[in-house]
Structure 1
Amino acid sequence: MTGTHLHLLVNHVPIIGAIFALGLLLASMRYARDVLHRTALVVLVVVGTAAGAAKLTGEPAEDGVRGMPGVTRAAIHEHEEMADKAFLAAAALGLFSLAAIVRWRSRAIPSGVTVTTLGGTLIVCGLMAFTGL
């Protein structure tokens, strides 16, 4: 398996995971608030971890596609710059989510944390979408 294949395998996890977490957070505002929010927090920890794996496999993937027809340096650079921003946001949100899981492990998660998590997830979803374009 090449670095390009590995990157293509792992880079979808943070994108799809962030969208899934967003759906869970939106549903948590209406149904089973605490259970769905905690599930979304766990998904966001996975998203942050998977974003790190995608970042680590980015360089080998770049080496594999450089020089291929239709692949320009500008496109690779733009993707890499956006991926760096998406990774930082996903990692920060993953750490925030992990802290929230630990902090409120035996109590209800405050609604302010839900709103903050929702805002962060929207940002991560947007950055991931632009990275994938």
Structure 2
Amino acid sequence: MNQAHYHLLLNHFPIIVPFIGLLIIIGGFILKSEILKRAAYCIFILGALFTIPALSTGEGAEKVMEHIEGISKSLIHEHEEKAEVFAILSYVLGVVSILALWSNWKKKTYAPFTLYLAIILSLVVLYFAAQTGVTGGEIRHSEIRSNNLSIENDK
């Protein structure tokens, strides 16, 4: 297996995990369940951790893909830019979730604020996750490109 294989294996987790966390945290908010909120914070932390190997295998995947005919370097670059923003936001959500988990556990007065912050941040993270996923898919799948045109290998 090469870096492109590893990237394909790992890159879906940072996208899917925050979505699951969002569903659980909304459930915790609606049901007023501290256990569900804490579980969601842990899931957001896990999502941030999954981002590390997904991002670190991206460079190797890029090197593999650049040598394949019909692969656009501009699409790879666009995906890389989106992935970097997504990764930073995912890490921020992870740190906020650590703070939220601790404040919830210790019943701090600002725990509700960290809950709202985690929900809002997770929505932002999911927006950039979708952008990253779509731009990544466009590299190899011309049928999902917005212009639906074949792109020549722009060297």
Q: TM-score range by the shorter chain?
A: over 0.9
What TM-score comes out, normalization by structure 1 length? 0.92
Tell me, in whole angstroms, the C-alpha distance in 2 between the residues paired with 1:54 and 1:77.
16
Q: Percent identity?
A: 28
Structure 2, gaps ≥5 residues long: 135-155
SS of 1:67's equivalent in the other structure is coil
Alignment of 1:15-94 (within 5 A): 15-94=15-94
CA displacement, residues 14-52 of structure 1 (integer Å, 9 cap, x when unaligned): 100011011011111212521111011001111111111
- Partner deviation per Cα, 1:82-126 (whole Å, 9 max, x = no partner): 000000000011011112223432437832221110000000000
Query: Within 1, Cα distance between the matches of 2:22 and 2:69?
Result: 36
Match of 2:148 in 1: none
- RMSD (Å), alpha carbons: 1.5
The answer as to whether partners of 2:51 and 2:90 remain within 8 angstroms in 1 is: yes
Paired residues in the alignment total 133
Task: Out of 106-115 and 7-16, give the one that drifted further.
Answer: 106-115
Provide the C-alpha distance between the structure 2 equivalents of 1:103 and 1:28, rounded to a whole number of angstroms.
15
Q: Relative contact order (C-alpha < 8 Å, sep 6+): which is higher?
A: 1
Where do 5+ consecutive residues of structure 1 fail to align?
none
TM-score by length of 2: 0.80
How far apart, in 2, do the equivalents of 1:27 and 1:70 lie?
45
Q: Deviations over 1:32-73 (max 9, x none)?
A: 521111011001111111111111110011111113233101
Matches within 5 A, 1:89-128: 89-107=89-107, 110-128=111-129
Describe the shift of the 1:84–1:73 C-alpha distance in structure 2 as closer, same or farther (beyond 3 A).
same
Distance of 2:46 and 2:83 partners within structure 1: 17
